[in-house]
């Protein structure tokens, strides 16, 4: 039995987003489901004007951050060049063969004509496709037009028969030739197209399975026809549903698509991102939360999920990108991190925290980790301990009396501060919110945060008193 070989083939024309990351994840899981499987990274950079090496580097960094390391790729050993820009000679050889057999033909249609054609088709409720106008131009006429300076593109002539293929998620699919149309294999500027290069690359790289978004299904019909024409066996296809925004629109910058790098920079852990992405269309056969809790690393988590991965558990329904769901997994991730590790990371983020009593800081971390579930959020929530904020005025008539009570509190620790605060509040007949809320604002300028007695223990008596008294004098 042939070992599974999957690939992720991003175009380096932008950053890695949710949809691309999920596609990479599913291909990785399938490849690692059984021993001997290979996950290949191929860079589809035929769009020379928009492709940039910095995007390629960024995509590779993000994949590695998620634990999705590849077995073969541009930066690793392998049997092939893994950038399409390095494989031009292969495409030219195949195109020459197709020209000689008459399976591709020159098309001289202008962009304006094609645009008008597609508008008419859309008005009639039809999918856009080429109508074959140039398909039967005599070779002598084509040669004469080229000699006059016209630069045609080259289209693949689709067969006059139904195109069929099996999809591992959707079952058997078929397309009439009229619904697809002849596609461009080589642009007028001499660049081969994605539609053509992908077939050549998947064949020569011995890709056995392709998982990609269901928006590619019409492309698959075209590529299946090219596989058949060249006498090559097509890979096994699996089209997963497109991820939608909260308002059930295609994800975009406008509708909430966020680069993976942004989530990582915001402190979302690779484990949380990975398990969240897996839930977008896939249902694990056993509780993912149990697997997640026992996973010591993102690599361990990935291998456990790979062992469970099956197309039988992939839904055809479009999933909705829900950041609340992602935050749920991040909270679980932060919850299981050892507190001493968070403590070390907090000190690394800002050495000024080292001046606080370790036992107080550890308690603050423990109390705050549930609400402030990433290191940046936790660091920001505790920043009033190490930075003196511009306070909020404390105009309550009891403020001066509170300062005197706190000045006389015998031991300055969280327990005794809490006793003193609650006794004062009860004595004044105050409710919790009308007492603690203005006090928190005066001390930290924040609406929410760790318990005030802990914060005040961290600040120390002198600094706590200074802030309360300063707030009393503010207009």
Q: Which domain holds residue 100?
A: 87-240
Average pLDDT over residues 446-472: 91
Residue 267 lies in a domain: no
Domain with 95 in it: what CATH number?
3.40.50.620
Q: Is residue 282 part of a domain?
A: no
Do residues 201 and 342 share a domain? no
- Is there a domain that residue 174 lies in? yes
Question: Does residue 7 belong to any structural domain of this protein?
Answer: no
What pLDDT is attached to residue 1?
58
End of a domain among 240, 260, 284?
240
Asked which of 64-73, 133-142, 202-211, 383-392 is least confident by mean pLDDT, the reply is 383-392
Query: Tell me, what's the pLDDT at 473?
Result: 80
Q: What is the pLDDT confidence band of residue 390, given thresholds at 50, 70 and 90?
A: confident
* Burial of 105 (C-beta count, 10 Å sphere; 0-12/13-18/19+): buried
What percent of the chain is modeled with pLDDT above 70?
99
CA atoms within 13 A on the CB side of 68: 33
The alpha carbon of 403 is separated from its chain's Cα centroid by a whole number of angstroms, namely 50
- pLDDT over 90 at 127, yes or no: no
Number of domains in the chain: 2
- Confidence at residue 268, expressed as pLDDT on a 0 to 100 scale: 97
Burial 215-251 (b: 16+ CB within 10 A, else e): ebbbbbbbbbbbbbbeeeebbbbbbbbebbbeeeeeb
Does some domain include residue 141? yes
What does pTM read for this prediction?
0.91
Lowest-pLDDT range of 296-310, 388-402, 423-437: 388-402
Q: How far is CA 155 from the centre of its chain?
A: 34
The pairing of strands 153-156 and 183-186 is: antiparallel
Identify the domain boundary among 185, 216, 240: 240
440 lies in some domain: yes
Rounded Cα gap, residues 216 and 342, in angstroms: 43
pLDDT exceeds 90 at position 474: no
Asked if 233 and 353 sit in the same domain, the reply is no
Which pLDDT score, from 0 to 100, does residue 46 have?
Answer: 87
- Shared domain check, 232 and 343: no
Alpha-carbon Rg for the chain, nearest whole angstrom, is 31
Final residue of a domain: which of 196, 223, 240?
240
Q: Helices 339-349 and 358-368: crossing angle, nearest 10°? A: 110
DSSP 3-state assignment of 17? Answer: strand
């Amino acid at each position: 039995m042939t070992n599974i070989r999957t690939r992720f083939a991003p175009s380096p024309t932008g950053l890695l987003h949710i949809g691309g990351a999920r596609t990479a994840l599913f291909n990785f899981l399938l490849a690692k489901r059984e021993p001997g499987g290979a996950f290949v990274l191929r860079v589809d950079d035929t769009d020379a004007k928009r492709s940039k090496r910095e995007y390629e580097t960024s995509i590779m960094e993000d994949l590695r951050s998620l634990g999705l390391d590849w077995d073969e790729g541009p930066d690793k050993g392998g049997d092939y060049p893994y950038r399409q820009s390095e494989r031009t000679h292969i495409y030219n050889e195949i195109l020459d063969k197709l020209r000689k057999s008459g399976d591709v033909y020159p098309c001289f249609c202008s962009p304006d004509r094609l645009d008008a054609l597609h508008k008419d088709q859309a008005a009639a409720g039809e999918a856009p496709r080429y109508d074959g106008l140039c398909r039967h131009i005599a070779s002598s006429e084509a040669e004469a037009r080229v000699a006059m300076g016209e630069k045609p593109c080259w289209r693949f002539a689709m067969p006059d028969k139904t195109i069929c293929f099996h999809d591992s998620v959707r079952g058997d699919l078929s397309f009439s030739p009229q619904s697809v149309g002849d596609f461009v294999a080589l642009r007028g500027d001499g660049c081969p197209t994605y539609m053509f290069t992908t077939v050549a690359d998947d064949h020569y790289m011995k890709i056995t399975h392709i998982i990609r978004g269901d928006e590619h299904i019409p492309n698959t019909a075209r590529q299946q026809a090219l596989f058949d024409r060249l006498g090559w066996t097509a890979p096994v296809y699996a089209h997963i549903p497109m991820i939608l925004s909260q308002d059930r629109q295609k994800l975009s910058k406008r509708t909430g698509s966020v680069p993976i790098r942004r989530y990582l920079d915001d402190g979302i852990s690779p484990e949380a991102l990975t398990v969240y992405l897996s839930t977008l269309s896939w249902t694990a056969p056993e509780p993912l939360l149990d697997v997640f809790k026992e996973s010591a690393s993102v690599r361990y988590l990935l291998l456990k999920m790979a062992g469970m991965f099956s197309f039988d558990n992939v839904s055809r329904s479009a999933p909705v990108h829900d950041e609340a769901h992602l935050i749920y997994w991040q909270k679980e991730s932060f919850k299981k991190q050892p507190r001493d590790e968070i403590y070390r990371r907090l000190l690394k983020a800002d050495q000024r925290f080292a001046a606080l009593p370790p036992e107080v800081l550890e308690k603050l971390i423990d109390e705050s980790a549930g609400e402030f579930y990433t290191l940046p959020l936790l660091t920001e929530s505790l920043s009033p301990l190490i930075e003196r904020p511009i306070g909020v005025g404390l105009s309550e008539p009891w403020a001066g009396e509170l300062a005197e009570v706190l000045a006389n509190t015998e031991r300055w620790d969280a327990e005794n501060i809490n006793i003193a605060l609650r006794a004062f509040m009860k004595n004044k007949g105050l409710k919790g919110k009308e007492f603690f809320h203005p006090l928190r604002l005066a001390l930290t300028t924040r609406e929410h945060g760790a318990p005030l007695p802990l914060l005040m223990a961290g600040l120390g008596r002198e600094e706590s008193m200074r802030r309360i008294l300063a707030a009393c004098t503010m207009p």
